[in-house]
Amino acid sequence: MQDETVDPTALRGDCANCFGLCCVALPFARSADFAIDKPAGTPCPNLGEDHRCGIHARLRQKGFTGCTVYDCFGAGQKVSQVTFGGRDRSGASPADARRMNEVFPVVRQLHELLWYLAEAQGLPAARPVHADLRRSLARTEELTLLPPAELVALDVGSHRQDVNVLLLRTSELVRAGVGGRRKERRGADLMGARLKGADLHGANLRGACLIAADLTGADLRRADMIGADLRDADLTDADLTGAFFLTQPQLNAARGSAGTRVPGSLARPVHWTTPL
């Protein structure tokens, strides 16, 4: 991702500079993803006084798979070090601590939009909307710097709709270069679908439910993957070269192999090649 406003490294979670916000602000329920129930605003029992997870290296073994497929897109360190100026909960009033919990999910949404906008801006095929993307990215970054009270009151949904117009246009421009009949699977229910070896080159998979789908050897080159649910999807030997709007959490939620081709901006999940 190339952009003059946001450093790509700032759009990845940096736990060393965060006060463990995702481990406090967010709720989770006992399920296949989490071993226990935890309400919003309550610290996870695995969170240490140093704001680090005490079982980080063993999350999957301990029943916290949900934590391994989550990324704040850099919102944690932004809220910790910028919005609240490096003041953690130990020195904050109860009101400020509550406000921190309220602000974090808002900034997380904005940082996710920054990730998509920055990626779109780096796609040559989207050149006709690069100027609009730059303006939208700059505006989104400005919103992340608002004071806590203004962030809590922000209509993120409205801003997301404006950004989505540009992301949709980006998708059309990128997939238009594929040629032929491009598959439209936007929002499709493909849970458990048998798509082994499927030709999904340039497909629109925005918001598609691909939970536990068999995508072994599938051609997903230059597919729009924004919001696609890949939990437990089998991407063994699939080709995701040039797939766009695909995030690290989506990959982390899927299964894959050493033969799976992933975009260069993302890392191959460790659990794809390492036994649990």
Contact assessment for residue 111 and residue 151, using Cβ atoms and an 8 Å cutoff: no
**pLDDT at 157 exceeding the cut of 70:** yes
Q: What is the pLDDT of residue 216?
A: 98
pTM for the structure as a whole: 0.91
**pLDDT at 143 exceeding the cut of 50:** yes
pLDDT digits (tens, 9 = 90+) for 192-209: 999 999 999 999 999 999
Share of the chain above pLDDT 90, in %: 84
**pLDDT at 3 exceeding the cut of 60:** no
Q: What is the pLDDT of residue 1?
A: 40
The angle at the Cα of 144, spanning 45 to 28, to the nearest 5 degrees, equals 25
**pLDDT at 173 exceeding the cut of 50:** yes
pLDDT digits (tens, 9 = 90+) for 227-236: 999 999 999 9
**pLDDT at 9 exceeding the cut of 90:** no
Task: Tell me how far apart the 2 most distant CA atoms of the chain are, in Å.
Answer: 60
What average pLDDT does range 235-247 have in this prediction? 97
The letter for the amino acid at 91 is: G
pLDDT digits (tens, 9 = 90+) for 69-87: 999 999 999 999 999 999 8
Please report which confidence band the pLDDT of residue 182 belongs to, taking 50, 70 and 90 as the band edges: confident
